[in-house]
Amino acid sequence: GNSVTQMEGPVTLSEEAFLTINCTYTATGYPSLFWYVQYPGEGLQLLLKATKADDKGSNKGFEATYRKETTSFHLEKGSVQVSDSAVYFCALSFKNRDDKIIFGKGTRLHILP
């Protein structure tokens, strides 16, 4: 079946460090891929998305490239800030009748000042 696997956290980095959060997927067909972010006490917010192979999604300094050959969608940021501390979810969906999204289990990121 379809699934998303992302690296377990927590991930702890110092401010201005380079960030990578790995995400791989298993899917039949060609899903759209998403990264969502959840700040403490809030719901999930869409961070970025990519809808086809080789697409790069970007937002707020974060980037992720849809790699069909490696079935991956790794999240990267060149210089993290304390305000990036949150839980990050990788997800996929297919265009179909119900638009359901399959989420990874989330990766907690903690940035030290």
Applying CB under 8 A, among 44, 64, 109, 111 the residue interacting with another protein is: 44
Strands (E), the chain: 3-6, 11-14, 19-21, 23-26, 32-38, 44-50, 56-59, 62-65, 75-77, 86-93, 101-103, 107-112
Query: Does 51 interact with another protein (rule: CB under 8 A)?
Result: yes
Measured in degrees and rounded to the nearest 5, phi and psi for residue 84 equal: -85, -5
Q: What minimum distance in Å lies between the beta carbon of 15 and another protein?
A: 26
Rank residues 96 and 113 by Cβ distance to another protein and give the closer one. Answer: 96
Query: Does 93 interact with another protein (rule: CB under 8 A)?
Result: yes
Query: Does 49 interact with another protein (rule: CB under 8 A)?
Result: yes
Query: Does 95 interact with another protein (rule: CB under 8 A)?
Result: yes
